[in-house]
């Protein structure tokens, strides 16, 4: 299971891009805007935080609690629950002079009533997609009690919090790496929050479907068919196709096609390989077939995607 999950997160380029500490004196409220291809988390160290999502879902967080927004939805954070307009994050950071380093403060620093949090932001590669990401709920709330049932997750968060209040060399880099570990552990720990996610995690660890996924991830360029995969894992063609579709939520060849395109994103961004070479390396019989599939999925050709990414 870990090999498949590792390949997924390595390929979509999960990366902690920044973090900040907050010191918000009441009353305070801030709107965190939507971010495509991103996720955010907020870990409460002191005080309380009320979170409101576009769906209307709300969460009241106290010390030790955290909320993870895995699909980058807009959300409002505030001291007491409020329906009043909250200023956008960028507007507040500009007004307070926050430049991205140290503590992001609103109100009087050092107030015993202040809400202190550690907040992190993750980026994914442009176009990143996988059934696992689609299965994630709008928000994941974990209390200190939830964390206690997942020691590795709890330990990682404790280290994040400790380093966030340390001004030593390398603190930012350490927190970014720890945050990436936290994100992966949180997904595995929150299966109770999402039946669809639980089904996918079970599929990855399943004796047969897990092996099929491992084959596809180890060698996506192989000329796989439903029959060849079924034969490799010791199932009949029809039974394999049915079981895979039930557990993963899509047919085996559809999954293979999507994964080949995801692998190609990585190559388009990180190498100078030609479209012909990339098409071959991810399993397409011709550059034309690859270009058609890529354009249908992402709305731009591989060449256009590469050029757009270079301008960012």
pLDDT at 285 > cutoff 60: yes
Out of 143, 168, 193, a domain closes at 193
- Top pLDDT among 255 and 189 is at 255
Out of 132, 166, 193, a domain closes at 193
Residue 106 CB: number of other CB atoms within 10 A?
23
- Whether residues 163 and 26 share a domain: the answer is yes
Q: What is the mean pLDDT of residues 261-288?
A: 94
Q: What is the mean pLDDT of residues 18-22?
A: 79
Q: Identify the CATH number of the domain in which residue 267 sits.
A: 1.10.10.60
Domain count, the chain: 2
For residue 167, give its domain range.
Answer: 2-193
CB 4 within 8 A of CB 117: no
Residue 201 in any domain: the answer is no
Name, in order, each residue with C-beta under 8 angstroms of 107's C-beta and a sequence gap of 6 or more. Answer: 23, 24, 25, 26, 28, 114
DSSP designation for 223: -
Q: Give the pLDDT score at 291.
A: 97
- Whether residues 168 and 252 share a domain: the answer is no
Q: Give the pLDDT score at 112.
A: 67
pLDDT band at 260 (very low <50, low <70, confident <90, very high): very high
pLDDT at 75 > cutoff 90: yes
Q: Which helix (H) or strand (E) holds 117?
A: strand 115-123
- Whether residues 113 and 149 share a domain: the answer is yes
Residue 200 in any domain: the answer is no
How deeply is 9 buried, as exposed, middle or buried, from its count of CB atoms within 10 A (0-12, 13-18, 19+)?
Answer: buried
Residue 272 CB: number of other CB atoms within 10 A?
8
Q: Give the pLDDT score at 113.
A: 66
- Whether residues 85 and 43 share a domain: the answer is yes
Residue 228 in any domain: the answer is yes
Angle at 26 between CA 24 and CA 30, to 5 degrees: 60
pLDDT in tens, 150-179: 888 888 888 888 887 776 556 777 877 887
Name, in order, each residue with C-beta under 8 angstroms of 3's C-beta and a sequence gap of 6 or more. Answer: 214, 217, 218
**Sign of torsion over alpha carbons 282, 288, 289, 293:** positive
- The average confidence (pLDDT) of the chain is 87
Residue 24 in any domain: the answer is yes
- Whether residues 175 and 291 share a domain: the answer is no
- Whether residues 21 and 148 share a domain: the answer is yes
pTM (2 d.p.): 0.84
- Whether residues 176 and 219 share a domain: the answer is no
pLDDT-wise least confident of 1-5, 44-48, 205-209, 294-298? 1-5
Out of 145, 160, 193, a domain closes at 193
Q: Give the pLDDT score at 49.
A: 94
pLDDT at 12 > cutoff 60: yes
pLDDT at 142 > cutoff 80: yes
């Amino acid at each position: 299971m870990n090999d498949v999950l590792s390949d997924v997160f390595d390929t979509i380029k999960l990366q902690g891009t920044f973090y900040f500490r907050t010191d918000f004196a009441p009353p305070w409220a801030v709107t965190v805007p939507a971010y495509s291809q991103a996720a955010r988390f907020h870990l409460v160290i002191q005080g309380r935080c009320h979170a409101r999502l576009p769906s209307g879902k709300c969460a009241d967080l106290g010390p030790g609690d955290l909320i993870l927004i895995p699909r980058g939805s807009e959300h409002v954070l505030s001291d007491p629950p409020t329906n009043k307009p909250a200023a956008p994050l960028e507007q507040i950071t500009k007004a307070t002079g926050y430049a991205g380093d140290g503590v992001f403060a609103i109100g009087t620093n050092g107030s015993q009533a202040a809400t202190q949090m550690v907040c992190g932001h993750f980026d994914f590669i442009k176009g990143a997609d996988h059934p696992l990401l689609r299965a994630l709920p709008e928000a994941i709330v974990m209390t200190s009690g939830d964390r206690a049932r997942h020691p590795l997750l709890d330990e990682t968060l404790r280290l994040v919090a400790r380093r966030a209040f340390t001004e030593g060399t390398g603190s930012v880099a350490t927190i970014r790496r720890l945050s990436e570990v936290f994100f992966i552990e949180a997904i595995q720990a929150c299966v109770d929050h999402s039946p669809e996610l639980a089904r996918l995690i079970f599929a990855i660890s399943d004796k047969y479907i897990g092996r099929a996924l491992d084959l596809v991830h180890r060698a996506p360029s192989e000329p796989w068919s439903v029959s060849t995969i079924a034969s490799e894992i010791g199932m009949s063609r029809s039974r394999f196709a049915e079981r895979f579709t039930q557990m993963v939520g899509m047919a085996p060849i559809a999954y293979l096609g999507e994964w080949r395109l995801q692998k190609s994103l990585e190559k388009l961004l990180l190498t100078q390989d030609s479209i012909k070479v990339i098409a071959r390396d991810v399993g397409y019989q011709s550059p034309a077939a690859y270009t058609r599939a890529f354009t249908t999925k992402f709305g731009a050709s591989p060449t256009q995607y590469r050029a757009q990414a270079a301008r960012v």
